[in-house]
């Protein structure tokens, strides 16, 4: 079986490629050890069911799962117990998961701790000093030297056992970085990132001669509240930027999918302003968090499928890498068949773009359409553009036969272009060739549904 190549940031664009220079796009969602599809790997209670699930993901165009090394909502999935003693059953779980991901060409974004449940159930956690651990208080996770050493020890164990694998896409060094775990201080957060990042990179270089990409994640509302932009977006040790796209109420408790998509586009546009050139940006967690917690039930499947699809397309069309990483917020924690179809559709669309040569900028305010009921999400450079058009919920689409003219970016180079019109449920609608010799490139199309994507690529 051919080993998966390591993933790295492209040298000339804010996206990802493998060691051979082939573009790679993160398409997937969050998953967990105790959720239905993967729980059978623990103690090998149902290995075949877990393998069927991962094969299904691969067939659905999924390329990446974000997953925590432990999930401590219960007492039997700690990676260490006591601290420093790595549990045999958990090691076997991860051995099997790495083997299966290699087989089905899936990669993992790994984050070392489930900080949400770790905080809520701190009294039980092996890192608590009451349980023989290194830390007296959950407010000192990031400031305690002893806890810092324990974090490094955990990462060292994982790197030495599994770190040579291309299954690892990258490290989310800390899930939802927050001052509350640093004695409620902003000061010191940057030093924490530098310390842990350098440790991981130096160990990987020593063992393998190369490194996996790194990020830290942050809960989006905390960015402005705590003025964390420099730490999260511009820290020199981090290879890509990741935030958790939550916003009340449009994403957290959605009433319609348009508002969720629109806010996603606006948040990504803002994020790209803070993100350095050539550094990828992606959402690594989103979903209807408030609706799920308040109502203890799922969004209706049809509504949720459309909510998922529109956030996915707003994400990639606005200039982020991939379609974003949904946290299911469903009973049980699984994505629907409709969501898998949306991922498959996106995985086929991404083949139209030369990502390692796509130095995009957000173009939502540049591209025009002659119908104010259509919202434009777009990104591009001088030779490639992605446009996604979404009907605003102001009135029903009554003009299916009307042609809409899109005004392209002003600095699109003169030349020949392939224009690919894309149905976000059915796939390719039409390919056409057009030449640009004037100031703008005008594309006429018919909106036969409430949204359509367009890939504009220079013909070499």
**pLDDT in the model for residue 402:** 54
**pLDDT in the model for residue 440:** 87
This prediction's pTM: 0.96
Whether pLDDT at 165 is above 90: yes
**pLDDT in the model for residue 403:** 56
**pLDDT in the model for residue 372:** 86
**pLDDT in the model for residue 397:** 46
Both tokens assigned to 226: 């705590």
Nearest C-alpha neighbor of 406 from the set 354, 368, 353: 368
CATH class of 363-458: mainly beta
**pLDDT in the model for residue 182:** 96
Q: Where are the domains of the chain?
A: 7-357, 363-458
**pLDDT in the model for residue 398:** 52
pLDDT, the chain, mean: 95
The CA distances from residue 197 to 175, 177, 233, 394, in Å, are 14, 14, 15, 48
Q: How many Å apart are CA 275 and CA 277, to the nearest integer?
A: 7
Whether pLDDT at 92 is above 60: yes
376-422 pLDDT, tens digit per residue, is 999 999 999 999 999 998 755 454 445 566 757 677 999 999 999 99
**pLDDT in the model for residue 357:** 96
418-449 pLDDT, tens digit per residue, is 999 999 999 999 999 999 888 888 888 888 89
Whether pLDDT at 140 is above 60: yes
Q: What are phi and psi of 196, to 5 degrees?
A: -70, -40
**pLDDT in the model for residue 441:** 87
**pLDDT in the model for residue 401:** 43
Per CATH, 7-357 and 363-458 having the same topology is answered no
* Check whether domain 7-357 has CATH 3.20.20.80, yes or no: yes
Concatenated DSSP letters for 55-76? HHHHHTT--EEEEES--TTSSS
Average pLDDT over residues 232-261: 98
The CA distances from residue 14 to 11, 29, 84, 91, 281, in Å, are 8, 20, 37, 34, 7
Q: How many Å apart are CA 23 and CA 21, to the nearest integer?
A: 6
Q: How many Å apart are CA 364 and CA 39, to the nearest integer?
A: 42
Average pLDDT over residues 81-104: 98
Which segments of 8-65 does DSSP mark as H helices, in order? 47-59
273-313 pLDDT, tens digit per residue, is 999 999 999 999 999 999 999 999 999 999 999 999 999 99
336-387 pLDDT, tens digit per residue, is 999 999 999 999 999 999 999 999 999 999 998 888 889 999 999 999 999 9
DSSP strand pairing (168-172 vs 107-111)? parallel
**pLDDT in the model for residue 400:** 47
**pLDDT in the model for residue 407:** 56
The CA distances from residue 46 to 36, 56, 97, 197, in Å, are 11, 16, 13, 36
| CB atoms near residue 88 (< 10 Å) | 8
């Amino acid at each position: 079986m051919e080993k998966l190549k390591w993933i790295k940031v492209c040298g000339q664009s804010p996206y990802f490629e493998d060691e051979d220079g082939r573009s790679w796009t993160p398409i997937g969602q969050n998953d967990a050890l105790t959720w239905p599809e993967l729980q059978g790997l623990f103690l090998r209670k149902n290995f075949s069911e877990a393998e069927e699930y991962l094969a299904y993901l691969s067939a659905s165009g999924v390329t990446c799962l974000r997953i925590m090394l432990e999930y401590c909502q219960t007492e039997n999935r700690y990676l260490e117990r006591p601290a420093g003693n790595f549990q045999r059953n958990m090691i076997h779980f991860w051995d099997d998961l790495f083997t299966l991901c290699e087989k089905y060409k899936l990669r993992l974004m790994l984050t070392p701790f489930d900080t949400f449940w770790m905080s809520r159930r701190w009294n039980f956690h092996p890192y608590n000093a009451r349980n023989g651990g290194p830390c007296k208080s959950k407010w000192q996770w990031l400031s305690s030297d002893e806890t810092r050493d324990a974090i490094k020890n955990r990462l060292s164990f994982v790197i030495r056992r599994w770190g040579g694998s291309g299954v690892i896409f990258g490290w989310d060094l800390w899930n939802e970085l927050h001052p509350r775990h640093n004695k409620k201080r902003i000061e010191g957060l940057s030093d924490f990132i530098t310390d842990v990042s350098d440790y991981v990179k130096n160990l990987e270089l020593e063992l393998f001669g190369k490194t996996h990409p790194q990020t830290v994640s942050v809960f989006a509302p905390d960015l402005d509240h705590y003025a964390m932009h420099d730490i999260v977006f511009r820290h020199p040790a981090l290879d890509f930027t990741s935030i958790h796209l939550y916003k009340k109420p449009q994403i957290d408790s959605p009433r319609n999918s348009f508002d969720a998509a629109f806010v996603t586009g606006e948040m990504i546009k803002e994020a790209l302003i803070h993100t350095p050139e050539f550094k990828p940006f992606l959402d690594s967690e989103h979903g209807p968090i408030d609706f799920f917690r308040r109502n203890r039930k799922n969004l209706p499947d049809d509504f949720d499928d459309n909510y998922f699809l529109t956030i996915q397309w707003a994400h990639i069309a606005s200039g982020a890498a991939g379609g974003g990483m949904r946290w299911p917020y469903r009973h049980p924690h699984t994505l629907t068949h409709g969501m898998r179809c949306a991922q498959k559709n996106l995985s086929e669309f991404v083949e139209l773009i030369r990502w390692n040569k796509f130095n995009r900028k957000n173009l939502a305010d540049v591209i025009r359409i002659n119908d104010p009921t259509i919202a434009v999400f777009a990104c591009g450079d001088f030779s490639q553009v992605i446009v996604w058009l979404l009907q605003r919920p102001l009135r029903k689409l009554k003009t299916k036969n009307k042609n809409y003219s899109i005004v392209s970016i002003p600095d699109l180079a003169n030349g020949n272009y392939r224009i690919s019109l894309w149905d976000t449920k059915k796939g390719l609608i039409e390919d056409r060739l057009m030449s640009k010799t004037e100031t703008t490139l005008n594309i006429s199309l018919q909106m036969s549904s409430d949204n359509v994507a367009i890939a504009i690529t220079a013909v070499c």
